[in-house]
């Protein structure tokens, strides 16, 4: 049995401890760090990953994927925003970089498996008669939401060494016990190519030909004009602050109309909806779904609790009807479907 695994290493504590755990399980580990974006601290991350590999006696590769990352992640991020939708670039990165390009490189290096420091789980399910991705034990850190876009054919070859851990303190303790300098390194929180979480500032620095600051009307759902906006790109669904309008009750952005260059606002009650449509679907379970109503749980963003819903798929469009109204369903974001804590699939909210 080929027990050689290519491990994605960011220079952080999660992926570093993953290397230790894989070694203990008998795998021959090769570390690899992907260069995705030129940014402050990237070289330090590569150096940290190399140090860990040297400490553990494993090979390390640096893989330059910046060109592909620009085309498939950054350009998609910009174009989605320009269409008055809110993208999630981490999902695209996982789909195209960390579990597609990375798997192809693993095969070139003679590795049977790939591994990452994600908090998720893979296992063979007797119920579904296939390998599945499910939630991690640490529910508050579970990252399965970001993984629905992976090709299901490679799921049997993915290992998540951190799947059984409940606390980050356990991970750091293992790093300390093994003398790793990254034991107390801070976790990265923001999107890697965005400085200080300034999405709009990033886009405005991309020399986009279209006038992204074109003013237009802020209107109520009945069409009444209540103010002027400074460019649709500056607004997101659910936003309350910074609207620059005065009204008898608090108003929130409930819709963006790119064609008419309008920001539609309404009451908080109008932010809630029980239904959504999604396209660009990807399913990880071998289930017949077309035209059937399936009981599921669904998440409309990473930091939400999965909610009970009914899923119906017709002609590559998913219709999701929730038991309870959901706040600020946002086009461009992903909705992810679960059955028994297993990732069924997901898609982009329309």
Q: Give the pLDDT confidence score for residue 81 in this predicted structure.
A: 92
**Is residue 93 annotated as a catalytic residue, yes or no?**
yes
Q: Give the pLDDT confidence score for residue 201 in this predicted structure.
A: 87
Query: How does residue 95 score in pLDDT terms, banded at 50, 70 and 90?
Result: very high
Angle at 309 between CA 306 and CA 312, to 5 degrees: 125
Q: Is the pLDDT of residue 26 over 80?
A: yes
C-alpha–C-alpha distance, residues 50 and 38, integer Å: 18
List, for residues 203-216, the tens digit of each pLDDT value: 888 877 778 889 99
Q: Which of 53, 83, 90, 192 is catalytic?
A: 192
CB 192 within 8 A of CB 169: no
Mean pLDDT, residues 116-123 taken together = 96
Question: Is 101 within the bounds of a domain?
Answer: yes
Question: Is 139 within the bounds of a domain?
Answer: no
CATH of the domain at 43: 3.40.50.620
Q: Which of 53, 83, 90, 93 is catalytic?
A: 93
Q: Give the pLDDT confidence score for residue 348 in this predicted structure.
A: 98
Question: Is 152 within the bounds of a domain?
Answer: no
pTM across the whole model: 0.94
Q: Which of 245, 266, 287 is the last residue of a domain?
A: 266
- Give the DSSP H or E segment for 298: strand 293-299
Q: Is the pLDDT of residue 188 over 80?
A: no
Q: Give the pLDDT confidence score for residue 2 in this predicted structure.
A: 65
93 shares its domain with 176: yes
242 shares its domain with 218: yes
**CB contact set of 283 (below 8 Å; sequence gap of 6+):** 152, 289, 344, 345
Roughly what angle, to the nearest 10 degrees, separates helices 168-177 and 13-24?
70
51 shares its domain with 177: yes
Provide the domain limits for residue 247: 211-266
List, for residues 37-74, the tens digit of each pLDDT value: 866 555 788 999 999 999 999 999 999 999 999 999 99
């Amino acid at each position: 049995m080929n027990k050689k695994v290519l491990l994605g290493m960011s220079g952080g504590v999660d992926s570093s401890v993953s290397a230790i755990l894989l070694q203990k399980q008998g795998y021959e580990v090769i570390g690899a760090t992907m260069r995705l974006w030129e940014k402050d601290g990237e070289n330090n991350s590569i150096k940290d990953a190399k140090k860990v590999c040297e400490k553990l006696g494993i090979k390390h590769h640096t893989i330059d994927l910046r060109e592909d990352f620009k085309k498939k992640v950054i350009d998609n991020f910009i174009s989605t925003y320009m269409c008055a939708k809110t993208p999630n670039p981490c999902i695209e990165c996982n789909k195209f970089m960390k579990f597609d390009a990375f798997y192809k490189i693993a095969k070139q290096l003679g590795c049977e498996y790939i591994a990452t420091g994600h908090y998720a789980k893979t296992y063979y399910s007797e119920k579904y008669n296939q390998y599945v991705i499910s939630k991690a034990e640490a529910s508050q850190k579970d990252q399965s939401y970001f993984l629905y876009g992976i090709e299901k054919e490679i799921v049997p070859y993915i290992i998540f060494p951190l799947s059984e851990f409940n606390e980050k303190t356990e991970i750091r303790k293992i790093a300390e016990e093994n003398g790793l300098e990254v034991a107390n390194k801070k976790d990265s929180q923001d999107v890697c190519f965005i400085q200080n979480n300034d999405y709009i500032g990033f886009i405005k620095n991309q020399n986009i030909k279209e006038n992204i600051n074109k003013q237009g009307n802020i209107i109520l759902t009945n069409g009444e004009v209540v103010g002027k906006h400074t460019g649709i790109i500056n607004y997101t669904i659910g936003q309350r602050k910074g609207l620059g309008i005065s009204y008898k009750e608090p108003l929130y952005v409930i819709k963006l109309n790119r064609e008419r260059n309008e920001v539609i606002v309404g009451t908080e009650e109008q932010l809630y909806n029980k239904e959504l449509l999604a396209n660009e679907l990807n399913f990880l379970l071998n289930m017949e779904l077309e035209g059937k109503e399936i009981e599921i749980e669904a998440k409309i963003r990473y930091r939400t609790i999965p909610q009970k819903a009914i899923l119906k798929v017709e002609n590559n469009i998913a219709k999701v009807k929730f038991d309870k109204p959901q706040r600020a369903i946002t086009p461009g974001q992903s909705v992810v479907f679960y059955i028994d804590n297993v990732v069924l699939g997901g898609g982009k909210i329309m």
